[in-house]
Amino acid sequence: MQPTSKTAALTTETDTDTETPMMNTRLEADYWVVDSDGYFAPAGPLAGVDGCTVEKREPASLVTVTTPLSESIPALRQSFVDRLEEACARAANTERRLVPLATPINGTPRVDQPDDDRTRLRQVIADTEDDESDDAVSSKSGLDRESGPSVDRRYCAGARVCVERHAVTDQLNALLALTPALALVNSSPYVGGERVAAGARTHCHRTRVDGARDGRPCRYVDSAAEWNRRFEASADVGWTPVALRERADPPMIEWRAPDAALPKQLLGLAGDVATVMDRLRRGTVHIGGRGERADRGGGRGRRGTERTDAAPPGRVTSDGLALPRATTVADLVDAATYEGLESTPLAVYLERMGFAVDDYHPISARIDGRRYVSRADARELRLEYAGLLEADVAELACTLE
């Protein structure tokens, strides 16, 4: 598909960015840590890298790379690449690699401490036994296997774009409407070896322990207080793609919809989202459609959010943003999760909202198509994408010299 509207889009190519100031923005990304054979390894050796934090509890094989607040896209890119370069170098020194996949594909990223030969032997034996079980499972038809495998939500890797608070109600509503953009960086369709969705991580977060899907649409809000009440009421169930970080300095809004992905793709997405957020400082958010509780009767929400009787499908406008009704967003999130960019209505919507869809190449679409992925094949995929991440970082670093 050729882009139809790039009014607010920032391309992922590095040579088109300028030093134009934007709202303070930070990027966070989780990456799996594996050894030279693709087995999960403790992330502890990366704890001393600037901007890197590691899980002290399970999964101990996950590292989070965080940038400082940045006032421009080039500054954000520079800090992210610098920290990833150092993290990859430290990992290589300890025979480890970073993996940009949203789920383990197959296998559980649990590692015993300390990282010694006995630990390695136990993991190899366990995975060998699981591989033998995989052979038996993969010989069955998809109908004979249990569908929709459950997964501990800790065993997912995501990314977060954090922006400084400004007109918080407008920001919350706009980020909710941008949730379908998660499709741009879907990075795993598999959980427990089985194909569950184009965005397996989002599927897992939206699936309750009992296997039922959380299909409730994310309704727009009229105030931050309303958002906090809703978040507190639903914190133990479902999935919330936006969060307020009120204790941060400065206070921020976190967009947590996207998967972990290759650095260049995440930087492009962060730039696009930051650009949309920056438009809110100079424009108005219009919400179209009736049917949601807050939309009845039209009127004007707080902090300048205008509600209209029309139902625009969502687009960047000359004076701000026009957001679709919440039920439309919910349908688009479903499409993003289960179809990805194969959904034409979704791709067209994202173009209207300022994303250059053709600049994105989700990992999930590249590795999709298998009914079942064994643990051995999952290790191969982890190593393949560890190599692609390293190449991505090296290429980005060259463009910054």
Q: Give the per-residue pLDDT at 215.
A: 54
In the chain, which residues have pLDDT < 70? 1-21, 58-59, 111-154, 208-217, 233-238, 289-313
Note whether 231 and 243 are within 8 A (CB). Answer: yes
Note whether 71 and 21 are within 8 A (CB). Answer: yes
Own/partner long-range contacts of 77-81 (Cβ < 8 Å, ≥24 apart): 77/14, 77/17, 77/267, 77/396, 77/400, 78/400, 79/51, 80/27, 80/29, 80/263, 80/266, 80/267, 81/263, 81/393, 81/396, 81/397, 81/400
Q: Give the per-residue pLDDT at 54.
A: 92
Give the CA distances from residue 240 to residues 26, 217, 224, in Å, rounded to whole numbers and listed in that order.
19, 10, 15
- Alpha-carbon distance of 95 to 329, in angstroms, equals 44
| Beta strands 320-323; 284-287: pairing state | parallel
List, in sequence order, the alpha helices (H) in 4-97. 73-93
List, in sequence order, the alpha helices (H) in 112-256. 117-138, 168-177, 200-205, 224-234
Q: Output the pTM of the full model.
A: 0.83
Q: Which residues contact 292 (CB under 8 A, 6 or more apart)?
A: 217, 219, 220, 325, 326, 327
Q: Give the per-residue pLDDT at 130.
A: 53
In the chain, the domains with their CATH numbers are 14-399 (3.30.590)
Structure tokens that stand for 277 in this block: 């957020």
Model pLDDT for residues 247-263, shown as the tens digit of each residue: 888 889 999 999 999 99
Q: Give the per-residue pLDDT at 1.
A: 42
Structure tokens that stand for 139 in this block: 């010989």
Model pLDDT for residues 305-356, shown as the tens digit of each residue: 554 444 446 888 778 899 999 999 999 999 999 999 999 999 999 999 999 9
Q: Give the per-residue pLDDT at 235.
A: 52
Number of H helices, E strands in the chain: 10, 13
Q: Give the per-residue pLDDT at 247.
A: 82
Handedness of CA 350, 353, 357, 363 (dihedral sign): negative
DSSP classification of residue 40: B
Q: Which residue has the tokens 């997912």?
A: 156
SS3 of 247, please?
A: coil
